């Protein structure tokens, strides 16, 4: 994740992903959000003494009689905890997770770093006051990773304050792939300070002091921080709503204001951590406030995980599509067009190959259409976009003073409303369904400038979009058909690693009735089970609340060559939009019925997909996608005439070939074309001209192979056959 100065992230690690991916949640100031989601369910934050009565035996009747006066006393309160294996056990109210772990086995208690109550992580030493599902979380649990990172941020803060007394600490959340902490010091930190800080951090971790929590009085807290000269912390206390407890976490003598939870001690952080970089960040993201130094770090449960991550970063930097896009002359961006791509000939060739591939895949099933780029605002009001999505839209008006009208138009952010208009044109019957309309639709969406990132996040992009209009009975089958198309497409591009299909269900901000959502989610859940049953290499997940505002959706997440996950395809069921536009078909019984609409994209944004492909292939495109498939070049000018003939022949065979007759040394030319990642060089000299042959050099291999020109071209043509075309030719 990239941060720009001034992009303030929340204290809370719970909302870190949401923050990274949808900056529009910042309606609440970031520094307030940390406390907004605190659960009050477990209200006992203070350590309560254990009820001595709970140790006494209980009579059959459920009453207890004191031996001294035989007066009935209240029975000790019990809670029932359900363990992951389904076992249910009773405990005295306010038993802590640590006591439970110790009760099971001392070695389990040693391994356990935290607990989850009804799925929510909590300090292991928290008293449990209500019935709950309990899970004891050990250090290797994926959920512990966030704790390791958050604890590591605290260790970082202590290390910095002990090395540079007087440095003020502010906030230190967990983010994707790591954590950061923002410090205030007159002299900013630099990466040269990292070695000393990391050394101190290792000392603090080795000391292995327990993390202990106290709940403080608000005024006392402010006074303590004021006395320490920690004015930022005083501000943070003020930002905590009055209903929230003020929690302080100690690690030895050092303490921090924190929402928690934490692991049991600093030693649990381990040594698989690393400080990554520094950046400037304004306090609370406001440029009128002081500039802080943000130190980024990362931590993992195991050293090998950290090593793999560092290797992945190194590899990702080498493959960065912005760098390769420049080196391979594929595209550029410039100031006047923020977030919109200038495609150069080579980049556009890749783009066109991708579209040609998709068109072949759609043949027979889909009808390709094209709907207008700008449409009257009223249409977007009907679709719901103007109401729900306006902050992401661009609007346009006639620029001339004498224009006959001053209507507002919106650039389409989605293709769907246009396709509904096409569906509505002409009466449709159930016999016309399913009707599948596809469009390589160019859409524009406003993205904050800080969120944009090369081709990966842009403001103008092309979707390989389609909408399937079908009956409710056809829905499940259509979803499965789309699933097959998506999975085979990814395989054709060499994404053969892990794949995840996620079902996202109803979000808070939505249109449509609960009954519609119930129905859609039920169908999708059935489809998800079927996808999993058919493809056992696919992981499935459910993301509650992450659906589109008009319906639940499937998201397809593919894994690239260096192990990064990218969400690309979506299938979104929509029981709403056709009705909003009054679209219907005539059913068997002669009645009018709104069709079910399925939005689907495979690459998603073609621009982004190409960005992913560039990094996945590290710029070494397979021959069928490569913008220039071969270059014919000469050893000396004696080969020029023959080289031109080879070029002609190769082009006639359908290859994308260029010629290089420059009067340069052959080694120089070979090196240059290899840097440009040209897959094949056809080298000719006097001898080759006489024998009608070429010397073939392939990218990435040192050798060369002399072949007749006809053979060489035939081999390249065969290799350049797109995978889908090859599949069609194979005998069934």
Candidate list 463, 474, 572, 629, residue with the active-site label: 463
Rounded Cα distance between 500 and 531, Å, is: 11
Q: Is 246 in the site for Zn ion (CB under 5 A)?
A: no
Q: Pick the catalytic residue from 8, 416, 479, 603.
A: 416
Instruction: Confirm whether 463 is a catalytic residue.
Output: yes
Distance CA 601, CA 548 (A): 14
Catalytic residue among 16, 33, 262, 553: 553
What is the separation of C-alpha 176 from the centre of its chain, rounded to a whole number of angstroms? 9
**The one catalytic residue among 599, 600, 608, 669:** 599
Closer to Zn ion by Cβ: residue 258 or 328: 258
Do residues 418 and 565 touch, judged by C-beta distance below 8 A? no
Q: Is 154 a catalytic residue?
A: no
Q: Say how many residues touch Zn ion, by CB under 5 A.
A: 3
- Cα 242 to Cα 246: distance, rounded to the nearest angstrom: 9
Least Å from the CB of residue 211 to Zn ion? 10
Which residue lies nearer to Zn ion by CB, 93 or 599? 599
538 touches 499 (CB < 8 A):
yes
> Looking at 391-459, which runs of residues are DSSP E strands?
395-396, 409-411, 435-444
416 assigned ligand-binding residue: yes
If one asks whether residue 258 binds Zn ion (CB under 5 A), the answer comes out as yes
Tell me whether residue 341 or residue 416 sits nearer to Zn ion (CB atom).
416
Q: How far is the CB of 75 from Zn ion (least distance, A)?
A: 39
Catalytic option among 182, 465, 560, 574: 465
Among 233, 259, 459, 467, the one annotated catalytic:
467
Distance CA 98, CA 126 (A): 8
Q: Is 465 a catalytic residue?
A: yes
As measured in angstroms, the least distance from the Cβ of 540 to Zn ion is: 23
As a whole number of angstroms, the distance between CA 723 and CA 272 comes to 42
Site residues for Zn ion, window 371-410 (CB under 5 A)?
none
Distance CA 392, CA 567 (A): 20
Q: Least separation, in Å, of the C-beta of 599 and Zn ion?
A: 3
Q: Indicate the residue among 224 and 416 with the shorter CB distance to Zn ion.
A: 416
Does the footprint of Zn ion cover residue 599 (CB under 5 A)? yes
Q: CB 548 → Zn ion: shortest distance, Å? A: 9
Q: 695 near 688, Cβ under 8 Å?
A: yes
| Choice among 445, 481, 608, 677 that is catalytic | 445
User: For residues 392 and 721, what is the distance between their CA atoms, to the nearest angstrom?
Assistant: 40
Task: Check whether 470 is labelled as a binding-site residue.
Answer: no
Which one of residues 117, 205, 416, 516 is an interface residue with Zn ion (CB under 5 A)? 416
Binding mask 577-596 for Zn ion (x = CB under 5 A): --------------------
Instruction: Pick the closer one to Zn ion by CB: 325 or 547.
Output: 547
Q: Print burial letters for 308-318: b (CB count within 10 Å at least 16), e (below 16).
A: ebeeeeeeeee
Write the burial class of residue 98 (CB in 10 Å: 0-12 exposed, 13-18 middle, 19+ buried): middle
**Sequence-distant (≥ 6) Cβ neighbours of residue 684 within 8 angstroms:** 632, 633, 634, 635, 639, 642, 643, 646, 694, 695
Q: Binding site annotation covers 673? A: no
Is residue 299 part of the contact set for Zn ion (CB under 5 A)?
A: no
For Zn ion, the closer of residues 306 and 414 by Cβ is: 414
Task: Compute and round to an integer the Cα radius of gyration of the chain.
Answer: 32
Minimum distance from residue 204 beta carbon to Zn ion (Å): 15
- Considering beta carbons, is residue 153 or 330 the nearer one to Zn ion? 153
From the CB of 161, what's the least distance to Zn ion, in Å? 14
Cβ-based burial of 380 (10 A; exposed 0-12, middle 13-18, buried ≥19): buried
CA distance 446 to 466: 22
Stretch that binds Zn ion, among 89-97, 121-129, 253-261, 468-476 (CB under 5 A): 253-261
**319 interacts with Zn ion by CB under 5 A:** no
553 is catalytic: yes
Cβ(475)–Cβ(596) under 8 Å?
A: yes
CB 301 within 8 A of CB 114: no
**Contact window for Zn ion (CB under 5 A) among 258-266, 278-286, 324-332, 351-359:** 258-266
Interface residues with Zn ion (CB under 5 A)?
258, 416, 599
- Active centre residues (catalytic): 416, 445, 463, 465, 467, 553, 599
Annotated binding site for Zn(2+): 416, 467, 599
Annotated binding site: 416, 467, 599
């Amino acid at each position: 994740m990239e941060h720009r100065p001034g992009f303030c992230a929340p204290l809370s690690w719970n909302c870190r992903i949401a923050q990274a991916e949808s900056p529009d949640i910042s309606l609440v100031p970031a520094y307030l959000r940390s406390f907004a989601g605190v659960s009050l369910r477990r209200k006992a934050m203070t350590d309560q003494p254990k009820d001595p009565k709970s140790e006494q035996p209980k009579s059959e009747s459920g009453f207890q009689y004191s031996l001294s006066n035989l007066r009935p006393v209240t029975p000790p309160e019990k809670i029932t905890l359900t363990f992951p294996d389904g076992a249910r056990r009773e405990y005295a109210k306010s038993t802590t997770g640590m006591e439970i772990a110790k009760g099971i086995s001392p070695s389990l208690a040693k391994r356990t770093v935290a607990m989850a109550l009804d799925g929510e992580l909590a300090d292991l030493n928290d008293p449990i006051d209500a019935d709950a599902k309990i899970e004891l979380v050990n250090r290797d649990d994926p959920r512990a990773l966030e704790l390791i990172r958050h604890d590591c941020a605290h260790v970082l803060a202590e290390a910095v304050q002990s090395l540079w007394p007087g440095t003020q600490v502010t906030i230190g959340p967990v983010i994707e792939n790591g954590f950061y902490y923002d410090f205030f010091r007159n002299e900013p930190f630099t990466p040269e300070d990292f070695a000393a800080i990391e050394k101190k951090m290792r000392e603090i971790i080795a000391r292995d002091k327990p993390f202990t929590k106290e709940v403080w009085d608000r005024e006392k807290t402010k006074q303590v921080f004021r006395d320490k000269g920690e004015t930022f912390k005083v501000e943070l206390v003020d930002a905590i709503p009055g209903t929230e407890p003020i929690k302080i976490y100690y690690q030895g003598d050092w303490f921090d204001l924190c929402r928690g939870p934490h692991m049991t001690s600093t030693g649990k952080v381990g040594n698989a951590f690393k400080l990554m970089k520094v950046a400037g960040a304004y306090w609370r993201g406001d440029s009128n406030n002081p500039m802080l130094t943000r130190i980024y770090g990362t931590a993992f449960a195991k050293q090998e995980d950290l090593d793999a991550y560092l290797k992945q970063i190194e590899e990702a930097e080498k493959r960065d599509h912005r760098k390769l896009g420049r080196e391979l002359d594929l595209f550029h961006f410039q100031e006047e067009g923020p977030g919109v791509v200038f495609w150069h000939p080579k980049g556009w060739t890749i783009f066109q190959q991708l579209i040609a591939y998709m068109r072949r895949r759609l043949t027979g099933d889909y009808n390709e259409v094209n709907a207008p780029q700008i449409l009257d605002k009223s249409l977007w009001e009907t679709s719901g976009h103007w109401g729900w999505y306006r902050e992401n839209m661009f609007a346009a008006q006639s620029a001339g003073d004498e224009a006959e009208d001053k209507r507002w138009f919106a650039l389409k952010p989605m293709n769907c409303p246009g396709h509904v208009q096409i569906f509505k044109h002409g009466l449709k019957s159930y016999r016309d369904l399913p009707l599948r309309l596809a469009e390589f639709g160019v859409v524009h969406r406003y993205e904050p400038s800080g969120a944009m990132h090369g081709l990966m996040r842009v403001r103008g992009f092309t979707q390989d979009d389609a909408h399937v209009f079908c009956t409710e009975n056809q829905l499940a089958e259509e979803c499965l058909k789309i699933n097959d198309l998506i999975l085979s497409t990814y395989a054709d591009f060499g994404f053969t690693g892990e794949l995840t299909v996620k079902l996202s269900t109803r979000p808070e901000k939505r249109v449509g009735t609960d009954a519609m959502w119930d129905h859609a989610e039920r169908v999708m859940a059935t489809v998800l089970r079927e996808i999993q049953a058919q493809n056992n290499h696919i992981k499935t997940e459910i993301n509650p609340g992450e659906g589109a505002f008009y319906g639940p959706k499937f998201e397809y997440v593919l894994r690239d060559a260096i192990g990064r996950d990218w969400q690309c395809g979506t299938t979104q069921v929509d029981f709403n939009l056709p009705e909003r536009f009054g679209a219907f078909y005539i059913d068997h019984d002669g009645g009018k019925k709104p069709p079910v609409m399925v939005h689907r994209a495979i690459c998603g944004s073609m621009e982004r997909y190409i960005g992913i492909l560039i990094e996945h292939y590290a710029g070494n495109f397979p021959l069928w996608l490569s913008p220039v498939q071969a270059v014919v070049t000469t050893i000396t000018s004696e080969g020029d005439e023959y080289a031109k003939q080879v070029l002609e022949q190769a082009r006639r065979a359908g290859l994308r070939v260029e010629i290089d007759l420059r009067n340069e040394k052959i080694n120089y030319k070979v090196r240059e074309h290899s840097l440009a990642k040209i897959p094949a060089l056809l080298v000719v000299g006097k001898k080759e001209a006489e024998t009608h042959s070429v010397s073939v050099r392939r990218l990435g291999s040192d050798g060369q192979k002399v072949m007749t020109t006809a053979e060489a071209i035939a081999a390249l043509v065969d290799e350049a056959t797109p995978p889908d075309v090859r599949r069609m030719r194979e005998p069934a």
